[in-house]
C-alpha cells in the first residue's frame, strides 16, 4: 500500500493492515446438546455479530470416542447473527459437545481500551479485543474408503484423511451445512466424523444419486492470540 498502517510479525505475516480486513475472532465458547433427544445443538453467541455476511464458525468436538457434526446453520440475518445450530452424526456417535469460535473478515468494537483501525470507508478492520484467526491446514486429498446403503435407500460414501486432532485447531463447519450437487433434486448431505482413537478424519456424503467424486476441502484454523 502507498500509505497507512501495516504491522508484520517475526514470521513475516501481516497482522494489521489499514486496507484489507483479516479474519478476526469475534467470540467463542462451548456448544452442547439442547434438543432432538440430545442430537441437536443450538448455541447463541455471547454478543451479536454485526457483519453483513454470515460469520465463519469453527468447531472442535470434545476428544474421545467418535464425534460427528452436520446440518450446520447460522442463526440470524445480515447485521444480526445471533448463533448457530449443529447436529450429531447419528445416535450411535457422541452427542454434540465441544468448543467453537466465530470469526468475520473485519473486527467489532470489543476491547475496552487499546487500538482500533478503520479503512477509508469507515469499516472497522482491527480491534485490540478481536485477535486474528490463522488457517492452519486444509484437506482436499480425501481417500475413498467404502459405501453403505441406508434404511431409506440412500447411499452413504465414506472418505478419510489421517489427522492428529490437535486441541487448538478447529474445523470450519459452515461447509458441512450445505447440500452438495448430485443427480437428484435434493442433492447430497455432507457430514464429518472425528475418530479420535484411530486418528482418522472422515467426510461422509449421503444422497440418492451419490457420485464417488469428492473434493470439498476441510479447513482448519486457530486463534492467533
- When pLDDT is averaged across residues 94-118 and rounded to a whole number, the result is 92
Mean pLDDT, all residues of the chain = 90
**Banded model confidence at residue 184, pLDDT cuts 50, 70, 90:** low
Contacts of 8 (CB under 8 A, 6+ apart): 14, 15
Cell of 175: 461447509
**Residue with more model confidence, 26 or 185:** 26
pLDDT at 179 (0 to 100): 79
pLDDT tens per residue, range 113-153: 888 888 878 888 888 888 889 999 999 889 999 999 988 88
How do the domains of the chain map onto residue ranges? 6-135, 136-216
Q: Is the pTM of this model over 0.85?
A: yes
**Residues 43-92: pLDDT tens digits?**
999 999 999 999 999 999 999 999 999 999 999 999 999 999 999 999 99
**Contact status, residue 60 vs residue 163, Cβ threshold 8 Å:** no
Locate cell 485477535: which residue?
A: 131
How far is it, in rounded angstroms, from Cα 78 to Cα 29?
22
Amino acid at each position: 500500500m502507498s500509505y497507512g498502517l501495516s504491522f508484520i510479525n517475526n514470521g513475516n505475516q501481516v497482522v494489521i493492515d489499514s486496507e484489507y480486513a483479516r479474519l478476526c475472532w469475534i467470540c467463542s465458547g462451548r456448544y452442547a446438546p439442547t434438543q432432538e433427544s440430545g442430537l441437536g445443538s443450538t448455541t447463541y453467541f455471547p454478543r451479536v455479530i454485526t457483519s453483513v455476511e454470515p460469520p465463519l464458525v469453527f468447531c472442535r468436538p470434545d476428544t474421545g470416542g467418535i464425534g460427528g457434526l452436520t446440518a450446520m446453520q447460522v442463526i440470524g440475518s445480515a447485521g444480526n447473527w445471533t448463533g448457530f445450530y449443529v447436529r450429531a452424526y447419528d445416535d450411535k456417535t457422541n452427542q454434540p459437545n465441544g468448543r467453537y469460535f466465530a470469526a468475520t473478515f473485519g473486527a467489532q468494537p470489543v476491547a475496552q481500551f487499546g487500538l482500533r483501525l478503520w479503512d477509508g470507508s469507515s469499516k472497522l478492520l482491527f480491534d485490540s479485543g478481536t485477535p486474528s484467526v490463522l488457517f492452519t491446514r486444509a484437506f482436499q486429498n480425501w481417500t475413498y474408503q467404502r459405501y453403505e446403503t441406508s434404511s431409506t435407500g440412500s447411499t452413504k460414501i465414506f472418505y478419510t484423511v489421517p489427522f492428529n486432532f490437535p486441541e487448538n485447531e478447529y474445523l470450519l463447519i459452515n461447509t458441512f451445512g450445505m447440500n452438495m450437487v448430485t443427480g437428484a433434486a435434493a442433492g447430497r448431505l455432507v457430514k464429518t466424523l472425528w475418530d479420535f482413537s484411530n486418528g482418522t478424519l472422515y467426510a461422509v456424503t449421503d444422497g440418492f444419486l451419490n457420485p464417488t467424486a469428492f473434493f470439498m476441502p476441510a479447513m482448519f484454523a486457530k486463534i492467533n492470540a
